[in-house]
A and B are shown apart, each in its own frame.
Chain A
Amino acid sequence: MIILFVVLPLIVAGILPLVGKVSRRVLPDLLANATLLGLLVYAAVAGRALIAGGPVLQQLSWLGEAVNLRLALDGFSLFMLLAIALVGLAASLFSIDYMEHYGAKANYYALYLVMIAGMNGLVLATDLFSVYVFLEVAAIASYALVAYGLSHDGLEAAFKYLMLSVVGSAFIVAAIAVVFGMTGSLDFAAAAAGLQELNAGPVLAIASAFFLLGFGLKAALVPFHAWLPDAHPSAPAPISAVLSGLLIKVSGVYAMTRIFLNIFGLTPALSTVLMGLGAISMVIAAFLALGQKDMKRMLAYSSISQVGYVVLGIGIGTPLGIAGGLFHLFNHALAKGLLFLTSGSVQQATGTRNLDEMGGLAKRMPVTAATNLVGALSIAGVPPLNGFWSKLLIIVALVQAGHPVFAVIAVLTSVLTLWYYLLMQRKAFFGKLNEKWAAVKEAPFWMTVATVLLALLCVGIGILFSTTVSTWIQPAADVLADGIHAVTGSWGF
């Protein structure tokens, strides 16, 4: 019953506002976290057994009659479901304490679960139009969540995010219409097969350009990144964590790679464009991050830079490159989720996001400081943490595929990344304690649990990286490396 990944969060979201009338805090907390825990267990325990014999296709029947509720689960979608459930659960645990002072908690969880359902639906969709529909589900919920604090900044950022995201969606719909016009089908398998038969180079190029613009905006690749450094810092911390850790990857990177690699087939030209965009994002955003005084803004720029690594890795198109890109996607989801959560702890304790005002917080918040360090070093690519291995895979793949220049750029950007993260760590947590923060206390219990959970995962995956790669990353990379055969061969209904 893989449809549970979509329907369960939706049902719980539907009843949450009613539950909220009975119990303001405890029941919504319990229900939302239990739902996400259930999805995580389902994905982690049952998922691999489900797809052991190849991709699972589900066509449901309703009152004995077959309806067209088609979903498909393969290595790539299962890997994304796991990432969504994992980071989603951590952010939701963090919300138990963090969202206390925002009010209307049941409503918050309802929106949060709709966003999760949208992401899960997108990952399981088997047809282009469903991709668009679920993209919008997740996006609409996220606009409201960015503005959830109702602050001036939050509302302004949400509006900017809405405007740019709608432009992205418009390009995506236009591209879908072009594909439908050419092949007469929206189904992944039929569209992929249809495009192979047609010899429609220029029209396909237009569809690719539209998809690139649309998903580039969703994934916030440079030069389509303008909305992200406003939207992500203004949101409440758990939402920043999910937006940066998951949403830009699901609605940007996942959808883009699924369409480009499994439906269009990666051409050398497309590969070059992807690698170019990835490298530009990586470098420019790293320099922009270096100059930031706002802790969350620095993290937001860092997200753009790290998504650049992911796109660069997948853009190489070799099995190793794709595996490296996907592994980095997973590691960045965990580590950036962690960093946004710790920045939330700091903001709640001190009331500021300005790095210059902080200092010496490690003395007052030792756990937050330690987990923040783990996240920062992981993204910067310091061994033996998880981020090191994924960057290593990408760089090795670049050298193997004959792109030494890109490899050098990736290494140098990594040094830059280490630089700004150490700067952040030193300004916020090390050094002399600012007198203002003498009364600051460690973050509350559930916030600490969430950050410690993610930090342990960063360390654990770093140590057990080969097991993680072989059990989760490789099946996902195989699907993408298989190109269009992955959907045309086994996805026929």
Chain B
Amino acid sequence: MLPDKKNIIFIFLIITVFGTVFLWWIFKNQPLPLTERIPGMDGRPAMKARSDTVNIGEFFDTLSAMDALLPGDWPRFRGVDFDNINKDTTPLSEKWDTAGPAIIWQATLGEGYAGPAVHNGRVYLLDYNERKKADALRCFSLSSGKELWRRWYYVDLKRNHGYSRTIPAVTDKYVVTMGPRSHVMCVDPVSGKLLWSLDLEKEFGIPGTEKGRITPDFYTGQCPLIDNDVAVLAPGGKALMIGVDCASGKIIWQTPNTDSLRMSHNSIMPMTIQGKRMYVYNAVGGVSGVSAEKSDLGKLLWLTTDWSPATTAASPVFLGNNEIAVFGSYGAGGARIIISEDVSGFKATVKEQHKATNGLASDQQTPVIIKDCIWAVMPENAGALKKQLVCYKKSDLLTEVWSSGKENRFGRGLGPYIVSGDKLYLLDDDGNLYFYKIQDNKATLISSHKILKGIEAWGPMAIAGKYLIMRDARNLLCLNIGK
């Protein structure tokens, strides 16, 4: 049956109406035009080698004579045993009164997060003087806070979340510092006499390449290490790690950087794994172990690129059983790496890795191990545990055994903490100092006090004798926490 005229008109009308609606629907909400998002759209210029010449350690100012020589030792990042635990037996106060611990002295600093080192009654801090535009190794008397001397050099920096970040390494004979732009300086710890210097950017950088860039984003955060009178540094670029003889300033060994790892904000941690002493370093691009034994000093023992967060600041810690824990910043979380050994040599295997929401993490400070527990303040992006003091078992980095609770969060979770015996001192970003007592896998808040009025109290603290030395972005303070 042929359709009659009415039906044809009806069908035509329906098609017209639906067609019009369809076209209207298609053209009404036109999506915004797609544009390519490709590298190079930000106008970043090609990378150039820095052209300025820095005369490292050029100037010296004698400021005061040494006064009382107090006991107490915190000679480098994480203290004598690299564990951030004070072993000094000086009795410390069990409780603070409402006034809090007494402030013994204080000093004004350039903006930054560099922490102090203490040795033989002197406090060393690598500061940045914004007015002079100079790195300055400042030596203070521990007893009075008087500045004894200052060894400094011009280096032009632009503020990039502060300037200074590193802690000097001190022995009886040497102080080694690393400045924000990777300028290394070795001086006499008493007289301040310049012994040698090294520009890591100039010596180990590969100009014009991202992989050959030495100083990381936000300036250098690696704290130098002195091991048997050898300064151990991890520049990246042409060498993964180097050893510099502190007496002569000569580079006596260097580890080839075959995987183009880059300097991170981590520091080198000496550890004994599988019975072998080694320097463990979590670089940008991978984690490595370099021999610290005389027979094969500087030899790369193992390297894994299976754990390589874009940014990492908390240094590796030894968990026992030939395992280490490593941490990444910016939500990267943490990982457990097992180091095994067979006839072919050492091998690193990432046994487990987790995001900050799923397990132990630290954006900035290195966690502390006490017996079989590991303590840290969780970062801001750690879900329900964010900014809380937490305790995990070394054997399980995924399940917390204790946390300070949602009513006890600490700033942005970036402040430092330090342990002495059963006491844990925690400084939040805003300068509030908390005093916890640790018992097994639990901590009890004993006292707290607002100590600093500044911001970004991120510099690691030091304990020497009965003194706790701490800082915020611009102030250095020495507190009496003794009995």
Partners in one complex: no
What is A's interface to B at a CB cutoff of 8 Å? Answer: none
